[in-house]
Structure 1
Amino acid sequence: MEINVSCTGVLAGKIAASYGATQIARAIACKGECNVVLATGASQFEMLRTLVSFDFIDWSKVTCFHLDEYIGIDDSHPASFVKYLRERFLNQIKVPPKQFHFVNGINPAGAEAECARLDQLVNDVKIDVAFIGIGENGHIAFNDPPADFETKKPFLVVDLDEACRQQQFGEGWFESLEAVPKQAISMSVQQIMKAETLVVTVPEKRKAKAAKAAIQGPVNPSTPASILKRHSHCVLFLDNESSSLLAKP
């Protein structure tokens, strides 16, 4: 795990985007295509804003996968991650990606059927770059503690814990805590760890405890992000606030 600390969250997002864009371009140059995972949430605002500004990325050679989505929310809801990625990514790039595989939180066949559909799409795909964040409770995607570190299933139906739901309300996505869904479809921990490169953007003071536990604590399902230390090519992009509790070397 490599740690990159910037003075502000905006700068951290910009540097993360630049690093990730370089990895995307490298994959395209090497094999003619690239497979990317995109995350959502407040931590990704500046990263995505910068990523879509790079004209050297040929998005027509990129297949995108969606990290997670609430169950029971359609893309007209303000908190929909599909809506988020359409507005902040798809509508901002000049050339559409080769494909974009969204998570459908309202699949008429049910959430387990949606997981099975997504599993089929990603099973034989090598993810080159995954852009993710870390939640206030240490989650990656919607794998809340204690996370399942063992399952090989690419996508799961997961229960959202109180801290996770409080974060979603606190960020302003929902009008009340009660309105935050209690379940979601999430890419699994093991599937995230299969990515060739992990670009992890973690700004703001409210992420400081989670960052410290993930970076300097033991690898433990109680801190899902701690497993990132076992990844061979994972870079965390922090700011002065999110890194403020880290013990100095």
Structure 2
Amino acid sequence: MEIFVVPTPAATGSVAAGILAAVVRSKPDAVLGLATGGSPLPVYRALAEHSVDMGAVRGFALDEYVGLPAGHPESYAEVVRREVTERLGLDPARVSVPDGGAPDPQQAAADYDAAISRAGGIDIQILGIGHNGHIAFNEPGSALDSRTRVENLAERTREANARYFASPADVPTQCITQGLGTIMEARHLLLVVNGADKAGVLAAALQGPVTTDCPASVLQRHPHVTVVADEAAASKLLPGSGGVNVRVADTAVGV
């Protein structure tokens, strides 16, 4: 595992975008795992500034709310359309999001997991981390080998996401999420983290025990993880602990 520590949240977007651009240049039809949320979204804005052809790229979103009407501005289908597909010039037919409006969400989840496998798996999966250690919407208690499924959202997660909705009561209670086992099958994991409020959970995930109490701790078992964190988020990491290589980075990094 390698961690790049940068001064600001804007720099995390630039560094992570450089990594993604390098992947696409080396494999123009790369399969990207797409995350939304406060930390990953600046990555796409920075990636749009790179002169890289994204037309053959395929994308799979990490998750989607269950029960939002089609076209709801806070559905991840709409966020991905606005922030990723249109911004980067991806082919909409090659970008997939779980169907949170399906009559049978459990079957939709299983179908989505199978679609990722048929595509040959994810080349590089972008991730954020929640305050309770979730990645995607794998809440504490999620099995470390879990597959794409319907998940109940923790109250802490709903509170964190309430800022995107008119009222906290409007935040859905369920989602379809890629499972931890699904995520771990990606060939490269790229975790982007910003803010002092994430410092404790980031340290627990990367240097604490691997436990279902902190789902992101499963990343310690993956052979190729890159973390890009601002100084505030990285402030509780112990250099050299747990085999983690912490480096100070600039905005030209590509791995």
**Residue 208 of structure 1: aligned partner:** 199
TM superposition shift of 1:100: 0.9
Q: Which AA in structure 1 matches 2:43?
A: M
Task: Give the Cα separation in 1 of the matches to 2:57 and 2:93.
Answer: 5
Aligned length: 239
- Equivalent in 107, 115, 119 of residue 113 of structure 1: 107
Q: Are 1:214 and 1:226, in contact at CA under 8 Å, matched by a contact in 2?
A: yes
Gaps of 5+ in 2: 241-255
Give the aligned partner of residue 237 of structure 1.
228
- Name the TM-score, length of structure 1 as normaliser: 0.90
Q: Aligned pair in 2 of structure 1 residues 223, 102: CA closer, same or farther (>3 Å)?
A: same
Q: Percent of aligned pairs with the same residue?
A: 33
Whether the 8 Å contact between 1:62 and 1:98 is mirrored in structure 2 is no
Q: For structure 1, which segment, 112-121 or 209-218, has the greater mean C-alpha deviation from structure 2 after superposition?
A: 112-121
123, 145, 156: which one aligns with 1:163: 156
1:65-124 CA deviation, whole Å, 9 max, x = no partner? 1110110013432321111111111111345266111212111x2211211321231123
The offset of 1:227, in angstroms, is 0.8
Q: 1:95 to 1:238 in 2, by over 3 A?
A: closer
Determine if contact 1:64/1:99 at 8 Å carries over to the other structure. Answer: yes
Partner of 1:131: 126
1:219 alignment partner in structure 2 = 210
In structure 2, how many angstroms separate the alpha carbons of the residues matched to 1:93 and 1:178? 33
Whole-Å Cα distance in 2 between the matches of residues 209 and 165 of structure 1?
20
Decide whether aligned partners of structure 1 residues 199 and 75 sit closer, same or farther in structure 2, where only a CA change above 3 A counts. Answer: farther
CA shift, 1:197, in A, is 0.9
Is 1:49 the counterpart of 2:48? The answer is no
Question: 1:42, 1:199 → 2: CA distance?
Answer: 15
Q: Does 1:39 align with 2:46?
A: no
**How many Å separate the matches in 2 of 1:72 and 1:126?**
27
CA RMSD of aligned residues (A): 1.6
Which string of whole-angstrom CA distances, capped at 9 and with x for unpartnered residues, describes residues 104-150 of structure 1? 2111x221121132123112322111111111111010001012112
